[in-house]
Amino acid sequence: MDSLWDAVRRAALDAGLDAVGVAPAEPFADARRHLTERKAAGLHGGMHFTYGNPERATDPSATVAGARSLVVGARSYRAAAPAPPPELAGRVARYSWQDNYEPVRRALDVAARVLREHGHTAVVLVDDNRLVDREAAVRAGLGWYGKNANVLLEGHGSWFVLGSIVTDADLPSAVPLPDGCGACARCMPACPTGALVAPGVLDARRCLAHLLQAPGDFPVEFRLALGDRLYGCDDCQEACPPNRLEDRRRPPRAADDGDEAWVPVLDLLAASDEELLARHGRWYIPRRQPRYLRRNALVVLGNVGDGTDPDVEAALRRALADCDPMLRSHAAWAAERLGRSDLVAAFLAQECADPAHSCAKNGP
């Protein structure tokens, strides 16, 4: 007869996970120390997430009293890159081409049902502030920490999202894998901003993926490095030999209509708040304020736009007259970068005809 673990494992794999393993539900002492030390050193860049409550995020029994095991799953999001559209567009990181968290949640829900049918408590956590997912995956023997901080699955690389079931069932734990990076360190110099400050250690204050999700101004010193990235950053994974090898061995799934790898920047800048939240509500947007999507789009526009294009000029003029000083200042940066300081000067010289826009006269 199958053991409970066999039944849970089979349910998870049948429901779409690529790998599944078990870790003991002990507190993650090292991860707790790393969270606390990095927060104290400012490396978290003010993020909350797991940093908001390191004790809870590293103690499965804070989620399920009497927790004994973590069933940890990984699902690949590797896909062929859709061709860029003809219009000016910002790049989206692979994990967000589709909602890749929902299928992991669904598969873990199926496996959790098996545990519940056997009388156990089972709580599914995917990308949740209550658990450090990578540490759970490493402890469950799914992979190792790469020098880019991502977890790599043996023989498959790092294009995986992760999630766990916290349960009071006592399941057979896996043995963690040894380091698989060896002498390789390619990801570190591949980071465009030097955010990988030591092997496996990320300084979020320099990481483009974080800066795109952080409130406030986009730091001037990292705007050129942002290039055309509008959401997330993949450079430290694209440089990774195991990921490249996996692409050669097994071609990724073909691009499909649901893949959102590019977002037209001028459309984004012209869209209303409601439209932006409807289109990109799945993304992490600071304080759910669409102005941050416009802020990011203005930096992308400054990096890859054509200052002589009338549509680009119109978008810059609109943003220079915006009531939001953050958008005006990013528009001024973009205009200067595209050789259109005339637009900034013209804006500052003109009288604002619309009294509702009088706020804009504080200057960009």
Q: Which residues bind ligand B12 (CB under 6 A)?
A: 30-31, 34-35, 38, 47, 49-50, 93, 95, 126-128, 131-135, 145, 147-151, 158, 160-163, 199-202, 204, 207, 209-210, 213, 232-234, 236
Q: Does 337 bind ligand SF4 (CB under 6 A)?
A: no
Q: In this complex, which beta carbon is closest to ligand SF4, that of residue 76 or of residue 193? A: 193
Query: For residues 229 and 93, what is the distance between their CA atoms, to the nearest angstrom?
Result: 8
273: part of which helix (H) or strand (E)? helix 273-280
Six-digit token string for 34: 């790393």
* Contact set for ligand SF4, span 217-246 (CB under 6 A): 233, 235-236, 239-242
* 118 CA to centre of own chain: 35
Q: What is the DSSP string of 204-257?
A: GGG-HHHHTTSSSPPPGGGHHHHTTEEE---HHHHT-HHHHHHHHHSPPBPP-T
* Nearest CA-CA partner of 161 in 202, 132, 133, 201: 133
Residue 15 CB, shortest distance to ligand SF4, in Å, is: 28
Q: Is 127 a catalytic residue?
A: yes
Separation in Å, CA 334 to CA 139, 220, 298, 337: 46, 11, 6, 5
With CB under 6 A, what is the number of residues at the site for ligand SF4?
23
* Contact set for ligand SF4, span 159-198 (CB under 6 A): 181, 184-187, 191, 193, 195-196
**Pattern of binders to ligand SF4 over 127-166, x per CB under 6 A?**
-------------------xxx------------------
Query: For residues 9 and 6, what is the distance between their CA atoms, to the nearest angstrom?
Result: 5
State which residue has the least CB distance to ligand SF4. 146
Eight-state DSSP code of residue 79: B
Q: In this complex, which beta carbon is closest to ligand SF4, that of residue 60 or of residue 242? A: 242
The catalytic position among 6, 30, 99, 127 is 127
Residue 240 CB, shortest distance to ligand SF4, in Å, is: 3
Q: In this complex, which beta carbon is closest to ligand B12, that of residue 128 or of residue 313? A: 128
Q: Hey, which residues does 157 pair with through a beta bridge?
A: 153
Query: For residues 298 and 17, what is the distance between their CA atoms, to the nearest angstrom?
Result: 38
Q: Residue 193's binding partner, choosing from ligand B12, ligand SF4, none, with beta-carbon cut-off 5 to 8 A by kind?
A: ligand SF4
**Residues annotated as part of the active site:** 127
